[in-house]
Amino acid sequence: MSIPCVKRDEKGIYTLYVNDQPFFMRSGEIHNSSASNLTFMKEKLWPALRGLNMNSVIVPLYWELIEPEDGKFDFTTLDGIIHQAREEEMKLCFLWFGLWKNAESMYVPAWVKQDPETYFRAQKVNGDRMTTISPLCQAAVERDRQAFTAVIARIRELDEEENTVLVMQVENEIGLLGTDRDYSPAANEAFFAPIPEKLAKALGRQGTWEDVFGEDAGECFMAWYFGSAVETIASSGKAVYDLPCYANAWLKQSPWFPGSYPSGGPVPEVHPVWRAAAPSLFAFGPDIYVPYCADVMDEYTSSDNPLFIPEIRKDAVSSSYALYAFGSKNAICFSPFGIEDLNLDPDQLDKPPMEVMIALNIDPSAFDITGSRACLSATYGLLKELEPLLLQYRGTSHLQTCVRHGETDYSAFQRFGRYDLAVSYGPRQSGKPLGACLTLELDENRFLLVGLNCSVKFSVKPGVNKHLDFLKLEDGRVENGKWVPGHLLNGDEKMSLRFGDLPKAMVVELYQF
């Protein structure tokens, strides 16, 4: 078996290959503490995921459990999770909670926490020591590197033949909160020196951090040192077993100054710095809890950054975004956070307290699961069956997918060879998906539509003096890329083409007269 890898094709599309086959991660990330107890995982977690049509899960690994005593590794949870995932026929992305998680060093083992002289903390400008270990602390980075590499070696030992583990996330939402940069003595010394040669070469600029980056110097400085630490850790693991690795970002949100979001995390403005520092990573993934998810997905998809979404809101709108992610953005992974909650009764869901939401800058409605489970399970199910068609048509004008981008985005216009299609989004309502439509032009008169909360209307091309009408309209389902008709729609049912709160597929055949 060959090792999972991410490759870019001649059209510029990135694909994750597993056993040499393209693999679209229809995923979900579990809550931070869920993977610390194997019995809980077995009895509660996996059953909650069944029926969601997922093919993979993002699961944390905790440094404090893996190396509870200095130099002594315990792989009980790691081994158990791999075995359980196999029993469930699920693939894994492991999320390494090492030195940094949400801009803090919460998951470091006690022997690291209690030795602040060796593993020194970042400091604020007034000298206050933070809970975050400084990325300039080589001793700490070295210990994380050793632990991560031991984890990867263990994964290789257990999994090289089976490829249950596909991808590794290295650290989580890295950066510093409450300050633009680290003001520890080591950081101050580095900050007033010229920027490192490797960075100067990559950017074609030279000078001190302030010369090169002006007002953004503090953030770029942190991006370089966090990126370099992640590179040390990831590349050491990859040398043992070359699994694809990525880092994720806490998004920049109002009021937008570094430190109000973690300064030095891989937000788009500092991608060039991160790329120079951490060439081993294949992507910088966004964690999206804002109301404007589609804008973020657009921003994080580029010729050098495939879309990998390790965390996204889990309210009903996430289904619409899943359609957009795979239909329009060629996403490698889509993964609502706290996925096990979808099995719960929405009224009984224990949402994070308001102060946690405020501290994490999370839109509270992102955790309202009303209507989510049924919609996500149906959407993931459809996406699974659409895979052969997505593979055939992606990167061409025959596949077009739109989603409502914001409050003032009312419609989209998709242009095909002989016809155009106007998609009108239904109103946004809580507990309902957003308007979205994935359209495949199967031949010049035949279209496969998958929609949510929208209505659609075909028209002939401008300048064509003809009418159009339906030759045939069918609802039905897709099975492994093949259309299986349900009803032949005519009479009342052909008056308008509408999609509701659950995804539906239709095939439309048109003619002109």
Nearest distance from residue 329's CB to ligand DGJ, in Å?
21
Residue 61 in tokens? 């690994």
| Phi–psi pair at 178, nearest 5 degrees | 90, 5
Binding flag, residue 431, ligand DGJ (CB under 6 A): no
Are 325 and 333 contacting, i.e. CB atoms less than 8 angstroms apart? no
DSSP, res 36: G
Binding mask 153-172 for ligand DGJ (x = CB under 6 A): -------------------x
DSSP, res 263: B
Nearest distance from residue 449's CB to ligand DGJ, in Å?
34
DSSP, res 52: S
C-beta of 144 vs 287, nearer to ligand DGJ: 287
C-beta of 352 vs 500, nearer to ligand DGJ: 352
Interaction with ligand DGJ in 94-113: which residues (CB under 6 A)? 102
Nearest distance from residue 32's CB to ligand DGJ, in Å?
5
Nearest distance from residue 172's CB to ligand DGJ, in Å?
5
C-beta of 352 vs 431, nearer to ligand DGJ: 352
C-beta of 67 vs 287, nearer to ligand DGJ: 287
C-beta of 178 vs 381, nearer to ligand DGJ: 178
C-beta of 180 vs 287, nearer to ligand DGJ: 287
| Phi–psi pair at 379, nearest 5 degrees | -70, -45
Please pick, from the candidates 15, 32, 84, 280, the single residue that binds ligand DGJ as defined by CB under 6 A.
Answer: 32
Size of residue set near ligand DGJ by CB under 6 A: 9
Please pick, from the candidates 344, 360, 471, 488, the single residue that binds ligand DGJ as defined by CB under 6 A.
Answer: 360
Binding flag, residue 173, ligand DGJ (CB under 6 A): yes
Q: Are strands 419-425 and 482-488 parallel, antiparallel or unpaired?
A: unpaired
Q: Are strands 333-336 and 25-26 parallel, antiparallel or unpaired?
A: parallel
Q: Measured at CB, which residue is nearest to ligand DGJ? A: 173
C-beta of 184 vs 248, nearer to ligand DGJ: 248
Tokens 């030992």 belong to: 157
Specify the DSSP element, H or E, that contains 451. strand 446-452
Taking alpha carbons only, the member of 411, 408, 414, 415 closest to residue 425 is: 411
Work out the number of other CB atoms within 10 angstroms of the CB of residue 355: 8
Work out the number of other CB atoms within 10 angstroms of the CB of residue 232: 19
User: How big is the chain, counted in residues?
Assistant: 513
Please pick, from the candidates 178, 279, 352, 388, the single residue that binds ligand DGJ as defined by CB under 6 A.
Answer: 352
Binding flag, residue 287, ligand DGJ (CB under 6 A): yes
DSSP E strands in 34-175: the ranges are 56-62, 91-101, 121-123, 129-133, 165-172
Cβ neighbours of residue 229 under 8 Å, at least 6 residues apart? Answer: 99, 135, 141, 144
Q: Are strands 91-101 and 165-172 parallel, antiparallel or unpaired?
A: parallel
Please pick, from the candidates 337, 380, 393, 425, the single residue that binds ligand DGJ as defined by CB under 6 A.
Answer: 337
The torsion angle over the Cα atoms of residues 476, 480, 481 and 484, rounded to 10 degrees, is -20
Binding flag, residue 134, ligand DGJ (CB under 6 A): no
Nearest distance from residue 102's CB to ligand DGJ, in Å?
5
C-beta of 55 vs 172, nearer to ligand DGJ: 172
Are 191 and 181 contacting, i.e. CB atoms less than 8 angstroms apart? yes
Binding flag, residue 34, ligand DGJ (CB under 6 A): no
Q: Which residues bind ligand DGJ (CB under 6 A)?
A: 32, 102, 172-173, 287, 311, 337, 352, 360
